[in-house]
Homo-oligomer: A and B are copies of this chain.
């Protein structure tokens, strides 16, 4: 490529376009509540913005028909049908992009999320379909999350995490939380990936020990908490 890292040639602080911000709010509400109403403060924390910004965004989103907030005393943010459809579409695009970036372009697992996070706001539905077809309609992304092909909300109950597993137990890795790049990098390096079988050998200090295939690896507990597992 060129001699300069051109990405650094222009760095503007926020870089929030109107639709990008709105889509982020909708996605956050959806991912926090899984369809159920969510508190504005939770959204603020999730997106690292002030409560005020959420409050203002609320009005705009209502104007767009994406939100159906109850009248006077009721606080929680609730997505409208339209809002939910948008959220699911965003999740679909995100996961398809992650899969494509990882499988076809060899982007390291821990960088896939950030890249998809930006691209998901600018691709058309048609393009998302084409990517899905190109990949053979994969059922899950590289972090182990299912890809929703229709708007049927398949939220699913939260699974336990690897950090909560008792010593001696043998579990199967289901998914990694892609929001934590550092954890994903460490886990991928350790071979703790969706589908892997893992036996917990020690789990008392900040570092747990885990047997993964032929290797015994040491895992930061915080990182282990990013791993959803099944028995």
Contacts and interface: CB of A to CB of B under 8 A. Distances in A.
A85 B3 CA distance: 9
A41 to B, nearest CB: 24
A1 B129 contact: yes
B10 A151 contact: no
Contacts of A222: none
A132 interface: yes
Contacts of A88: 2, 6
Contacts of A2: 85, 88-89, 92, 125, 149-151
A14 B18 contact: yes
Contact of A151 (B3, B16, B105, B130): B3
Interface stretch (A70-78, A116-124, A165-173, A176-184): A116-124
Nearest to A137: B1
B121 A1 contact: no
Interface stretch (A19-27, A31-39, A44-52, A212-220): A19-27
B107 A10 contact: no
Contacts of A101: 127
A200 B14 CA distance: 53
A56 interface: no
Given A105-B131, A125-B1, A134-B104, A18 B13 contact: yes
Contact of A118 (B26, B86, B111, B122): B122
Contact of A19 (B12, B92, B104, B127): B12
5 contacts: A9-B89, A10-B22, A10-B66, A107-B126, A115-B127
